[in-house]
Amino acid sequence: MEHSGFEPDLIVASPGRINLIGEHTDYNKGFVLPTAIDKYIIFKLKANGSPSTCTITSKDFLKSMQVDLGHLEKSTVAWENFMIGVLYHLKQHSNGIQGFDCEIESGLPMGSGVSSSAALECGLAFGLNELFQLGLDKEVLIKVGQKAEHDFVGTKCGIMDQFASVMSKAGKAILLDCKNLDHQYIPLTLGDYKILLLNTNVSHSLADSQYNLRREACESAVELLKETHPEVTSLREVTQGLLEASKAKLSPIQYQRCAYVIAENHRVQQAVTALQNGNLEDFGALMYASHEGLSKEYEVSCKELDFLVEFSKTHKSVLGSRMMGGGFGGCTINIIHKDAITAYVDEVSTAYQAAFNINLDYFEALPSEGTHILKA
């Protein structure tokens, strides 16, 4: 599908992300600790001289789409909506976009929880901002990505993935306060330990609908808590004490979801302290606690993810393990001693294959720079 003779004016690398801890806290205005990884979607872009015709080719799907900037409507083809959504929302901020040709090639495993969607959205927004010198700042591009996902793809995601994909710095994690986007870069000094992702290679179809339901459960709980505590605008302001005192107002499920979110926010802060003190054992224990909450209270795990986390508990070389991202499949993130990786991967793959008859994929993730230009 490569356009013969396609000479891009600009090449942009847009990374996937990992999240060390702080899951399902972003849309509750809480804390997260993500960073970009050394796997990217590459965008090759060129202005084509037309005022409004855009051609985007995905080398992975072997598909091409053509859109007119004057007629940006939802498509029935899933991947096209990421692109159309970005164009639509970019246009709300600038009249400067014109016709372009774009080739996309992904080095990110799709549906594995490393947010290929945010990489897709933000890479295009970032690339067009550069190509047409729109002058939009990074925060606008991040929000354009998120809005594309809300309005065109249909997932009411938080801001973590887009923020991490664009803003990350090599060797650091971002402690992001999703209430106001205040952020701090935390050095990831892991010594002899590495970040290993194990990909379950399952992506349960519940994922999107259940994601939106979790968000709704939290938001409806906040509405109820507001009746007696009008100062509460999100679960961020709810303490464990307030939750206990208000238990009778909430359904058991609402209570359970809120309890998880409040505890997870606290764990993010404890995890940062552990990292800053070089205490990786404590950090790992917090990862395990996070998984327990996601699996039992928030109920967004699945048997394949639980199996991998349980398996790791019997191996001293793994300090911590948890499901990562929205859930219902995708990857676990593991902190593992560098010398143990080969043997561990061998053992866990065999056990996983025997339990589910599914091949396990793995890769090491290096905390990396956010979206950047490869060639201008």
List active site positions. Answer: 161
The binder of ligand GLA chosen from 123, 325, 367, 370 (CB under 6 A): 325
Rule CB under 6 A: say whether 157 interacts with ligand GLA: yes
The binder of ligand GLA chosen from 15, 27, 168, 250 (CB under 6 A): 27
DSSP state, residue 150:
I
> Taking the complex as a whole, how short is the minimal distance between the CB of residue 215 and ligand GLA, in angstroms?
8
Nearest 5°: phi and psi at 85? Answer: -60, -40
Rule CB under 6 A: say whether 161 interacts with ligand GLA: yes
DSSP state, residue 325:
S
> Taking the complex as a whole, how short is the minimal distance between the CB of residue 106 and ligand GLA, in angstroms?
17
Which of 283, 234, 243 is CA-nearest to residue 263? 243
SS3 assignment, position 25: coil
Sign of the Cα torsion 158, 162, 165, 169 reads negative
The residue range among 51-59, 154-162, 265-273, 362-370 that interacts with ligand GLA, by the rule CB under 6 A, is 154-162
Pairing of strands 53-58, 193-203: unpaired
* Shorter beta-carbon distance to ligand GLA: residue 10 or 86: 86
x/- map, 267-306, ligand GLA, by CB under 6 A: ----------------------------------------
Residue 55 exposed, middle or buried by CB count within 10 Å (0-12, 13-18, 19+): middle
Rule CB under 6 A: say whether 160 interacts with ligand GLA: yes
| Structure token digits, residue 171 | 């060797």
> Taking the complex as a whole, how short is the minimal distance between the CB of residue 158 and ligand GLA, in angstroms?
3
The residue range among 48-56, 152-160, 315-323, 364-372 that interacts with ligand GLA, by the rule CB under 6 A, is 152-160
Q: What is the rounded distance in angstroms from the CA atom of residue 80 to the CA atom of residue 176?
A: 30
Which of 188, 127, 146 is CA-nearest to residue 26? 146
* Shorter beta-carbon distance to ligand GLA: residue 27 or 88: 27
Rule CB under 6 A: say whether 326 interacts with ligand GLA: yes
| Structure token digits, residue 61 | 């799907």
The residue range among 23-31, 73-81, 164-172, 266-274 that interacts with ligand GLA, by the rule CB under 6 A, is 23-31
> Taking the complex as a whole, how short is the minimal distance between the CB of residue 27 and ligand GLA, in angstroms?
6
Task: Give the containing element (helix H, strand E) for 111.
Answer: none
Q: What is the rounded distance in angstroms from the CA atom of residue 329 to the CA atom of residue 312?
A: 17
Sites of contact with ligand GLA (CB under 6 A):
23-24, 26-27, 115, 157-158, 160-161, 325-326
